[in-house]
């Protein structure tokens, strides 16, 4: 057992929560369990909330993370959001691209001052038009993340190509996959060289 006391806050939306996974792990539980099984002393805090946009997350992430990441621990933060920002409700997108990128910039800059920070892009849903907006956001997020020096993992395109995520979402509520989709997203994170416990290291 590696003894450094690592505590990770995963902060974001319902996909971070793992909504729809009958095993109640989501991708965050799967990547945390894999790290523990590699011998890391990881405490995992799941701070995903359904329906939240980046504006909602910006309003709470600092308080919720600060309570969970005491100064004497090795505190880390993983952000993941964006699908709700790009939802169209009553003819309007919930948040403009500019607003999402503004919140991303503010949160990531602040988080990097205190914690090791990663950004996982928004996964797809079962609706093609919505996925086009998510994909556009993914590309814009990549530029912001690069400018800030925050490691960023785009996942939308690869999850669409992999099919399981979108098929499971279509068979449930149109947005949330079941265990296969979450396992696929967990596999992308674990294969990501920037992930702190990447498999191929």
Pick the closer one to a copy of itself by CB: 152 or 197: 197
Contact 133, 86 (CB under 8 A): yes
Closest approach, Cβ 33 to a copy of itself, in A, equals 4
Residue 132, phi then psi, degrees to nearest 5: -65, -40
Closest approach, Cβ 76 to a copy of itself, in A, equals 15
Count interface residues toward a copy of itself (CB under 8 A).
27
Pick the closer one to a copy of itself by CB: 60 or 139: 60
Per-position x/- string for 2-41, each x denoting binding to a copy of itself as judged by CB under 8 A, each - no binding: -----x------x--x-x--xxxx---xx-xx--xx----
Bridge partners, 116 (sequence order): 76
Per-position x/- string for 35-74, each x denoting binding to a copy of itself as judged by CB under 8 A, each - no binding: -xx-----xxxx--xxx----x---x---x--xx-x----
Please report whether residue 127 would count as binding a copy of itself according to CB under 8 A: no
Identify the residue whose tokens are 């980046």: 54
Determine how many CB atoms are found less than 10 A away from the CB of residue 29: 18
Q: Among residues 55, 154, 49, which one has the least CA distance to residue 96?
A: 55
The alpha carbon dihedral of 47, 91, 166, 194 has a sign of: negative
Pick the closer one to a copy of itself by CB: 65 or 184: 65
Pick the closer one to a copy of itself by CB: 13 or 138: 13
Contact 151, 145 (CB under 8 A): yes
Pick the closer one to a copy of itself by CB: 17 or 131: 17
Structure tokens at 13: 């939306």
Pick the closer one to a copy of itself by CB: 107 or 141: 107
Structure tokens at 91: 């003819």
Give the C-alpha distances (Å, rounded to integers) separating 168 from 51, 137, 173: 19, 23, 9
Determine how many CB atoms are found less than 10 A away from the CB of residue 104: 26
Residues interacting with a copy of itself, by CB under 8 A?
7, 14, 17, 19, 22-25, 29-30, 32-33, 36-37, 43-46, 49-51, 56, 60, 64, 67-68, 70
């Amino acid at each position: 057992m590696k003894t450094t006391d690592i505590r990770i806050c995963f902060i974001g939306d319902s996909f971070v929560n793992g909504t729809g996974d009958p095993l109640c792990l989501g991708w965050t539980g799967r990547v945390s369990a894999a790290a523990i099984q590699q011998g890391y002393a990881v405490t995992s805090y799941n701070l995903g909330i359904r329906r939240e946009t980046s504006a909602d997350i910006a309003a709470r992430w600092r308080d919720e993370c600060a309570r969970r990441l005491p100064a004497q621990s090795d505190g880390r933060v993983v952000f993941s959001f964006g699908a709700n920002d790009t939802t169209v409700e009553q003819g309007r997108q919930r948040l403009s691209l500019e607003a999402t990128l503004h919140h991303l910039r503010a949160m990531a800059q602040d988080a990097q001052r205190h914690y090791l920070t990663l950004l996982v892009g928004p996964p797809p849903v079962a609706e093609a038009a919505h996925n086009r907006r998510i994909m556009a956001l993914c590309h814009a997020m990549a530029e912001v993340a690069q400018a800030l020096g925050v490691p960023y993992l785009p996942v939308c395109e690869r999850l669409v190509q992999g099919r399981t995520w979108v098929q499971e979402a279509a068979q449930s509520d149109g947005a949330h996959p079941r265990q296969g989709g979450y396992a696929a997203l967990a596999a992308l994170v674990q294969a990501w060289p920037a992930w702190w416990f990447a498999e191929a290291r």
